[in-house]
Amino acid sequence: MRILFIGDIFGSAGRRIVADHVGDIAMTQRIDLIIANCENAAAGFGITPRLAEELLATGIHVLTSGNHVWDKKEILDYIDHQPRLLRPDNYPAAPGKGVFLGKTAAGVDYAVINLQGRTYLPNIECPFRRADQILSSLPSSVRVRIVDFHAEVTSEKMAFGWYLDGRVSAVIGTHTHVPTADERILPGGSAYQTDVGMTGAYDSVIGADKNAAISRFLTGMPVRLEPAKTDARLAAAIIDIDDATGRASAIRRHMVNGD
């Protein structure tokens, strides 16, 4: 099977390029499963129920998230009723879940797992040990296992990829919004990329208005960050996985430039 993994959708520019292109990509690339990180979909800060429904209606099968998922309070009730919206599983006492078990249209079982790193991020439960627990609890019939590892630091992400190599189909990093050029298949058969990148406006500092971001660095004072609007791009990875073994055979970056 072939998976499209879309990196952090940021604000209206990110939502629009997804709505405009995801159907096309799914058709031309013969995609079986679409996963997207949505934690910055609501003007850069979290996601609302309406926006989650809007993104799922574009054809995305599973939404993942990260530290910003809690920014909009209305998500707290919604997330318990929408199993296709994940939050990092290693939050110790939060609504919602970090694992989704599904079946593709062709009848292939899959698991999407969302975990979060701890370096320069809230000190939640250990993602490594939490991953062990999740993997030992999955039905053995679920061979296709995709992990969104939402983390800041390249070393933590790379260590996590090696830790899960051979036990999952893919470990794809999110959160830094900068696509890394290190996509590869690890020796145990897991596809890996440190960060898949951002889906949003690239005339920006990681999605936000660049002048506001510069001013923050110049003054050290809080400045309200608004989402940037121009140079929209969609950043994704396309991963080929053997249905029977869950091993990945290929991963490549897939970028789309908006109009």
Task: Determine the interface stretch with Fe ion among 67-75, 164-172, 197-205, 233-241 (rule: CB under 5 A).
Answer: 67-75
Give the C-alpha separation, 28 to 190, whole Å: 24
Binding to Fe ion by residue 175, rule CB under 5 A? yes
Binding to Fe ion by residue 65, rule CB under 5 A? no
Give the C-alpha separation, 166 to 248, whole Å: 9
Closer residue to Fe ion (CB): 52 or 241: 52
Give the C-alpha separation, 91 to 140, whole Å: 25
Q: Which position has the token pair 């159907």?
A: 23
Instruction: Kindly state the smallest distance separating residue 39's Cβ from Fe ion, in Å.
Output: 6
**How is residue 95 annotated by DSSP?**
S
Instruction: Kindly state the smallest distance separating residue 200's Cβ from Fe ion, in Å.
Output: 13
Binding to Fe ion by residue 130, rule CB under 5 A? no
Binding to Fe ion by residue 179, rule CB under 5 A? no
Task: Determine the interface stretch with Fe ion among 11-19, 65-73, 204-212, 215-223 (rule: CB under 5 A).
Answer: 65-73
Binding to Fe ion by residue 157, rule CB under 5 A? no
Give the C-alpha separation, 23 to 106, whole Å: 18
Residue from 21, 61, 68, 177 carrying the catalytic annotation: 68
Give the C-alpha separation, 176 to 194, whole Å: 9
Instruction: Kindly state the smallest distance separating residue 111's Cβ from Fe ion, in Å.
Output: 22
Give the C-alpha separation, 259 to 250, whole Å: 29
Give the C-alpha separation, 227 to 242, whole Å: 39
Instruction: Kindly state the smallest distance separating residue 66's Cβ from Fe ion, in Å.
Output: 4
Closer residue to Fe ion (CB): 14 or 246: 14
Give the C-alpha separation, 195 to 152, whole Å: 9
Segment (H or E) for 250: strand 248-257
Longest dimension (CA), the chain: 55
Write the CB contacts of 244 (distance below 8 Å, at least 6 apart in sequence).
143
List 11, 44, 46, 66, residue binding Fe ion (CB under 5 A) = 66
- Residue nearest to Fe ion as judged by C-beta position: 66
Kindly compute the dihedral angle of the four CA atoms of residues 82, 35, 26, 58, in this order, to the nearest 10 degrees. Answer: 30
Binding to Fe ion by residue 67, rule CB under 5 A? yes
Instruction: Kindly state the smallest distance separating residue 9's Cβ from Fe ion, in Å.
Output: 12
Binding to Fe ion by residue 127, rule CB under 5 A? no
State the number of binding residues for Fe ion (CB under 5 A): 3
Task: Determine the interface stretch with Fe ion among 12-20, 103-111, 173-181, 226-234 (rule: CB under 5 A).
Answer: 173-181
81 is catalytic: no
**How is residue 98 annotated by DSSP?**
S
Using CB under 5 A, list all residues that contact Fe ion: 66-67, 175
Indicate which residues carry an active-site annotation. 68
